[in-house]
Structure 1
Amino acid sequence: MAEPNMLQRPRPESRARFHDDFGQRFLVTVDTEEEFDWSRPLDREGHTLLSVPALRKFQEFCEGYGVTPVYLVDFPIVNTPLAVQAIGEAVREGRAEIGVQLHPWVNPPFEEAITAHNSFAGNLPRELEEAKLQRLKAKIEEVFGATPLIYRAGRYGLGADTASILRANGIAIDSSVRARFDYSGEGGPNYRHHPCHPYWVGTDDPRILELPLTSLYWGPLRQLGDWIYPRLWRAPRLRGMLARLGLLERIALTPEGITAHEAMRGVDIALDDGVPVLVFSFHSPSLAPGYTPYVRDDAELDAFYAWWRTLFDYLATRGISSTSVKDIMRCVELP
């Protein structure tokens, strides 16, 4: 039996089903990582961890709304005591959950050259991809005293061997697929035709539950989005014009580059499409000013939190409650 390949578009029959009382819910995921200059080439040393204490404020903010965030931590994060100080107690008490995020260029063992191709963990040789995952998972268990069940590849970099690696190492859920996005121009995966609905990977047990990040098209041309968008990747002004005219817009459920009004439209589309789990995401350095292009000063940090207040309130009006990895595992129907 061939190993499952997470890069392939799933078959319709692989769609995951949930217990009737699960309904539709949302999950907040945080790509919890070091700060680095996004405009410069990657390296192993050129990063800081100054935004890590800001995780505590976000955790307290989420608890005020009854939301259980999932922190997908990479090696520099789990290797600093600042992370446990910020969210360790919340993880131990079940008010937050911990997961794995693999940034191969800062995750030992260091056997590969630092290149754009190798920044996608799924492009590495199987033995090296697995060794990095094992090193990170063991460190998370040591530091947080919890076994992570969910994985996200840094830069969304799944590979042909990732599914079997996750299965062999006790990871039940992957959330690396960014539906409607294509990273093949940089040597990464193409998720242009992947769905937003959760689905099962493979046919042999234990299977991996894929929980794609929610991103979709809005506008009268949305049904043609998979055809139009790839043909306009070199024409961002034309894509912007289509969005301004209200004809076609790609909306990801993130406060990074997406307005609250746009995100609410995305929520409406996802709910109308029957997506059972709406997956929100952002990068943890956005929790402090000056570390990402999205939060450059205190005013933009205030706007960042206002975005979440608006979305949490809107989800409540739509009757959509927060979920967690634990709830998802309990409520998904086994194939």
Structure 2
Amino acid sequence: MVRFKPGFGQRFLVTIDTEEEFDWTQPLRAAGHGLDTVNRLRKFQQFCEGYGIVPIYLVDYPIVTSPLAVEMLRDAVAHGRAEVGVQLHPWVNPPHEEEVNQFNSFSGNLPFELERAKFMKLYNTICEAFGTAPLSYRAGRYGIGPNTATILREAGLPVDTSVRSRFDYSGWGGADFKHLPVRPWWVGNDRRLMEQPLTTMFTGLLRSQGGWLFPLLAKIPRAHGVMAKLRLLDRVPLTPEGVTVTEALRAASLAVDAGLPVIVTSFHSPSLVPGHTPYVRSEADLDTLYDWWRQVFDLLLSRGVKPSCVKDMMDWIELD
């Protein structure tokens, strides 16, 4: 596990999967996406700045090659009010050598040379667009594979945040994270690459048994819903997408009580405009999303959890 220097306390990160818009109900395509939501990035940036938060924009290839998106973010990144990271959507990222399908949408399933070529194309484009090297990586669809860590080490990128602990994507061709911890750990013994998983908490009276019980309940139809309704066991990721603020506040409080050194929140940038994700279909939904963030920020700050970013977090790592 990663250890932090005395005085670090507890911190939280705000990560944004900053990406193109596409129809989530349809098969993935290499073309045909939109970028209408990028003009809302500035509003969210200003919202975060009001709380003293440095958001982390994990940008993919359509975003970093959009002059408008780069214009929206460049000044904040240059002056330390935001950070930029890497998010690889292989189906829209050159070189385009693979068949676009569900299996290949998890970049870790691609051959080593192709995964590396796509990553380096995106990484170098981000460096050129923003004038700085990104410090963090998230595979689109959380799609890391056996070669991903090697590729990140080669690039000198110190933090991966692709692991969604307590989730299992193996049924779709992705990775199985259900038994991985929610605290950051070193990938390998050389301490060159840290895994900072997204925060997901088990809530309910049986939460201490969630690690083995929740996967078992997946085999029983409707069991998860019944257990959640009875407040016995629920799995709550810290995202405003599909998670009510009541659920999120309960999970965030448990994360603080558990002493998690870093609490990671996330959402997708297309949710900043109604109609582009299943979670925000109207202006009322968008108001609810912003209110979710306000209440979660207020709770974390009131509990003494400080906002952070990858650069700040890395400065506090204990290597001895």
TM-score using structure 2 length: 0.98
SS of equivalent residue, structure 1 residue 30: strand
Question: Aligned partners of 2:198 and 2:279: how far apart in 1?
Answer: 19
Partner residue, 2:73: 87
Partner residue, 1:7: none
- Indicate which of 175, 183, 188 corresponds to 2:161: 175
SS of equivalent residue, structure 1 residue 135: helix
Partner residue, 1:292: 277
SS of equivalent residue, structure 1 residue 247: coil
Partner residue, 1:245: 230
The CA deviation at 1:77 is 0.5
Moved over 3 A (4+): none
Letter of the 1:69 counterpart? P
- Indicate which of 247, 258, 276 corresponds to 2:243: 258
Uncovered stretches (5+) of structure 1, i.e. residues with no partner: 1-14
The CA deviation at 1:103 is 0.5
Question: Which sits farther off after the overlay, 132-141 or 222-231?
Answer: 222-231
Question: Aligned partners of 1:294 and 1:334: how far apart in 2?
Answer: 41
Letter of the 1:232 counterpart? L
The CA deviation at 1:192 is 0.3
SS of equivalent residue, structure 2 residue 37: coil
Question: Which sits farther off after the overlay, 66-75 or 41-50?
Answer: 41-50
**What are the Cα deviations for residues 177-220 of structure 1, in whole angstroms up to 9, with x where unaligned?**
00000000001000000000000000135x21110000020112
Partner residue, 1:11: none
Question: Which sits farther off after the overlay, 313-322 or 72-81?
Answer: 313-322
Corresponding position: 1:50 with 2:36:
yes
Partner residue, 2:106: 120
- Indicate which of 295, 307, 321 corresponds to 2:292: 307
Question: Aligned partners of 2:177 and 2:203: how far apart in 1?
Answer: 18
SS of equivalent residue, structure 2 residue 38: coil
CA RMSD of aligned residues (A): 1.1
Once the two structures are superposed, the pairs formed by residues 211-226 of structure 1 within 5 Å of their partners are: 211-226=196-211
Question: Aligned partners of 1:274 and 1:211: how far apart in 2?
Answer: 15
Question: Aligned partners of 1:236 and 1:180: how far apart in 2?
Answer: 19
Question: Which sits farther off after the overlay, 219-228 or 96-105?
Answer: 219-228
Q: Is the 8 A contact 1:44 1:106 kept in 2?
A: yes
Q: Is the 8 A contact 2:63 2:70 kept in 1?
A: no
Question: Aligned partners of 1:236 and 1:66: how far apart in 2?
Answer: 44
**What are the Cα deviations for residues 22-48 of structure 1, in whole angstroms up to 9, with x where unaligned?**
100100000000011111110111210
Question: Aligned partners of 1:231 and 1:110: how far apart in 2?
Answer: 39
The CA deviation at 1:240 is 1.0
Corresponding position: 1:195 with 2:181:
yes
Q: Does the C-alpha gap of structure 1 residues 251 and 293 become closer, same or farther in structure 2, counting only changes over 3 Å?
A: same
Partner residue, 1:105: 91
The CA deviation at 1:235 is 4.5
The CA deviation at 1:227 is 2.0
The number of equivalent residue pairs is 320
Partner residue, 1:325: 310
Question: Aligned partners of 1:38 and 1:235: how far apart in 2?
Answer: 27
Question: Aligned partners of 1:249 and 1:145: how far apart in 2?
Answer: 43
Uncovered stretches (5+) of structure 2, i.e. residues with no partner: none
Question: Aligned partners of 2:126 and 2:260: how far apart in 1?
Answer: 31
Corresponding position: 1:72 with 2:66:
no
Once the two structures are superposed, the pairs formed by residues 126-165 of structure 1 within 5 Å of their partners are: 126-165=112-151
Question: Aligned partners of 2:212 and 2:181: how far apart in 1?
Answer: 15
Q: Is the 8 A contact 1:289 1:298 kept in 2?
A: yes
